[in-house]
Amino acid sequence: RFFWNKRSEEALYKSIDYFQQAIEKDPYYALAYAGLADSYAVMAISADLPAHEVFPKARAAATKAIELDDSLVEAHAAMLRIRSQYDWDWAGAEREYRRAIELNPNYPMSHIYYLSYLVAGGRVDEAVASVKRAQDLDPLSLVTNAVMARALFFAGRYDEAIEAAQKTLELDQNVFLARLILGRSYAKKGMFDAATDVFEQARKLPGGNSEATSLLAYTLAVSGRLSEARALLEEMNRLSTSRYVQPYDIAMVHAGLGDLDAAFEWLEKAFLDRNHQVPLIRAVPEFENIQSDPRFAYLVQRLGVAR
């Protein structure tokens, strides 16, 4: 769990190795399977790996944990995350959340993982309240504090998101998500120079991924620095020939540049890849300029998001 909390690709591989060692020593240790599920799920988010490579492994581990011990809150919380972020099984996600809360209402990650379900359904204020519950339970958690900033950002409460992100960074300057939310909030307030500075810093952090480059390019585009934005987009396209780059991140840059056809082309790829951010798209302000396009409504319809 120590390495899982670090969120970098190297640390996540270490966490997976340790959980697998625990399982080798005791094949009936349900808690290790739940930890393995959590680690694989984060790999799709923090390590720029395709969701279809790691989420099925996460599901298999969570399923095994539940088979071994149906009363384990960590297992049901992990399955909640999988149902909402990869399976897009909204009824299943709600069932797993209810079961996790029934087992232990004081496990913070259940409230954290519920965010995706709530934001996908347009219930952003409830998402903030859910994360606040987790924060009350574990006020010094870097993950919880960073996710609070994210929830506030989705709710359009940018000043509060900035405050929450800065609070997280006071605890640890290397929290990648907190830095991204800080930059995104600055950008939405028109503080483009501050935002680009933050994204440049995020690109240098250990455990970063293509999202920082995407957000930097997006911010450069909407602030009128089009040639710099296109140069970064070309950098991402070149990188994608040698390793996986999230199509969702490329779509965001195209949206910032006003290239709507290209934005939808890459969003379709992200949809087919089952990127965890696609179901949240109605709450993503960087895609506001494409929301009136009929293709956007069709995308949301196909997600079958909870309402």
> Do 255 and 287 contact (CB within 8 A), yes or no?
yes
The predicted structure's pLDDT at residue 47 = 72
> Do 128 and 91 contact (CB within 8 A), yes or no?
no
The predicted structure's pLDDT at residue 271 = 97
What the block records as the tokens of 89 is 């099984």
Local mean pLDDT, 10-residue blocks, the chain (307 residues) = 83 94 98 96 84 95 98 98 96 97 97 97 97 96 95 98 97 92 98 97 79 96 98 94 92 98 97 95 96 96 82
Task: State how far the Cα of 220 lies from the Cα of 243, in Å rounded to an integer.
Answer: 24
pTM of the model: 0.94
Neighbours of 137 (CB within 10 A): 16
> Do 229 and 220 contact (CB within 8 A), yes or no?
yes
Nearest to 150 by CA among 166, 164, 135: 164
Residue 104 phi, psi dihedral angles, 5° rounding = -160, 100
**Tokens 């070309």 label which residue?**
234
What the block records as the tokens of 287 is 């895609």
The predicted structure's pLDDT at residue 205 = 81
> What is the tens place of the pLDDT at every residue in 221-258?
999 999 999 999 999 999 988 888 999 999 999 999 99
Q: Sign (positive/negative) of CA torsion 11, 15, 18, 24? A: negative
C-alpha dist (Å) from residue 9 to 45, 49, 206, 297: 10, 10, 9, 34
Stated length of the chain: 307
What the block records as the tokens of 137 is 């339970």
